[in-house]
Homo-oligomer: A and B are copies of this chain.
Amino acid sequence: MRAAVMYGAGDVRIEHRPDPKVQQPTDAVVRVVLSCVCGSDLWPYASMPAAGTGRPMGHEFLGTVEETGSDVPGLKAGDLVVAPFTYCDNTCDYCARGLHMSCRNGGRYGFDGVDGGQGEAVRVPQAAGTLVKLPAGADSALLPSLLTLSDVMGTGHHGAVTAGVRRGDSVLVIGDGAVGLCAVIAAKRLGAEQIILMGRHTARTDLGREFGATNVVAERGEEGASRVRELTGGDGVGKVIEAVGTRQTLETALTAVDDGGAISRLGVPQYQDGPVGPSMIMRNITLTGGASHARAYIEQLLPDVLDGTINPGRVFDQGFSLDQVPQAYRAMADRRVLKALITL
């Protein structure tokens, strides 16, 4: 089969790789129908040291079950399924508590001999726990939105859930990338009344407005935080979803949040140390969030995707073939494309 492999910063290649086969009774092989490039793929694309052996890329995919091991109850060849961005058994004590990211038998695509999602097929470990059968045909117009359940929509939802967004809240979403935009959808879905989107890329913030953002703040840093305070009568917002991951955006979040508020971080932090000193204590600010338990959220969000209540697939603004994946990375890194959809 062919798949995308990264060999270093800026170096993504389409290569022939061995066809995946069932290796464990709990494996399934999925023929990929749709995949995409994640904002988090852009960090290694910017910084990965050149390596002789490449890393299979991609962790968001939707496809058709091709083959199942002997211990994959509930799935059979031909089923259309979506995969959360990490695999998991969905039965261990962590999964039972909804902490699928910490699954005792879980892992990541593209590591430890597991295929990446940006390729023709994927061997999925712990398939019965991981894959969710979709009540849709492979030709459904909903497929792009269903694909977002593998990561970006679940991640935005995780931000809103962990920030504790409730009906009537004022919420700040920092970042107009696909995760930030899905966080807008999620905050609106949970009843937020005021959703301030911080971003300066007009096409994206316009989509954010369609998704439910009530205000857009193009300014950054102190200036942006002041603007947020103005928009909230001076006190700041009760809930912040930080969907960028730099130290500066965390500082902005801390300046824009109201006393007693919560900041949920979704972006992988590009820093080791953050400003969590006395001011955060005196103001009773909570820092929460993390890597989304996407598997836990698929069933929660699926009905709203199926009935069109939410349409997160709109974050895909350009389609690519597998051969064009290197161009998709470049276009996203250059911010010419918001989120690249890969059609197999």
Residues of A near any B CB (own CB < 8 A):
94, 97, 99, 101-102, 162, 259-260, 265, 268-269, 271-278, 280-291, 293
A293 to B281, CA, bound (A): 12
Identify the closest chain B residue to A280 (Cβ).
B290
A268 to chain B, nearest CB (A): 6
7 contacts between A and B (CB under 8 A): A102-B259, A268-B278, A269-B278, A269-B280, A282-B290, A286-B286, A287-B287
A272 to B280, CA, bound (A): 10
Verify B288–A286 contact, CB threshold 8 A. Answer: yes
Verify B280–A277 contact, CB threshold 8 A. Answer: no
Q: How many copies, total?
A: 2
Verify B260–A102 contact, CB threshold 8 A. Answer: yes
Given contacts A99-B260, A102-B259, A260-B97, contact A285 B277 (CB under 8 A): no
Select A281's contact among B259, B260, B289, beta carbons within 8 Å.
B289
Q: Which residues of B contact A282 (CB under 8 A)?
A: 101, 290-291
Verify B259–A99 contact, CB threshold 8 A. Answer: yes
A293 to B99, CA, bound (A): 31
Verify A271–B281 contact, CB threshold 8 A. Answer: no
Q: Which residues of B contact A281 (CB under 8 A)?
A: 265, 268-269, 289-291
Select A94's contact among B97, B102, B260, beta carbons within 8 Å.
B260
A162 to B278, CA, bound (A): 17
Verify B278–A275 contact, CB threshold 8 A. Answer: no
A280 to B273, CA, bound (A): 11
A283 to B99, CA, bound (A): 9
A97 to chain B, nearest CB (A): 7
Given contacts A99-B259, A101-B284, A284-B101, contact A272 B275 (CB under 8 A): yes
Verify B285–A276 contact, CB threshold 8 A. Answer: no
A282 to B266, CA, bound (A): 10
A272 to B271, CA, bound (A): 15
Q: Which residues of B contact A271 (CB under 8 A)?
A: 277
Given pairs A280-B290, A287-B288, 5 additional interface contacts (CB within 8 A): A94-B259, A101-B283, A162-B286, A272-B275, A281-B290
Verify A276–B287 contact, CB threshold 8 A. Answer: yes
Verify A102–B284 contact, CB threshold 8 A. Answer: yes
Q: Which residues of B contact A162 (CB under 8 A)?
A: 284, 286
